[in-house]
Amino acid sequence: MSANEMILKALKDSKEPLKAGDIAEIAGIDKKEVDKGIKELKKEGKIISPKRCYYAVSE
């Protein structure tokens, strides 16, 4: 499973938006990987940022 898939799974399983540090903890990957993945996923439109520094899966 790629880092981006792990990030998406962590966000889908969460009932509320998560911070990058929380995603890293849940997914068990390095925060730098999470930051890179978030940037890619946002560009692809798969995740959104409902408020600053929090991320959620786009509906």
* Separation of alpha carbons 5 and 35, rounded Å: 13
Q: What is the pLDDT of residues 6-58, one digit of tens each?
A: 999 999 999 999 999 999 999 999 999 999 999 999 999 999 999 999 999 99
Count Cβ atoms within 10 A of the Cβ of residue 47 and give its class: 0-12 exposed, 13-18 middle, 19 or more buried. Answer: buried
Class of domain 3-57: mainly alpha
Q: Is the pLDDT of residue 59 over 90?
A: no
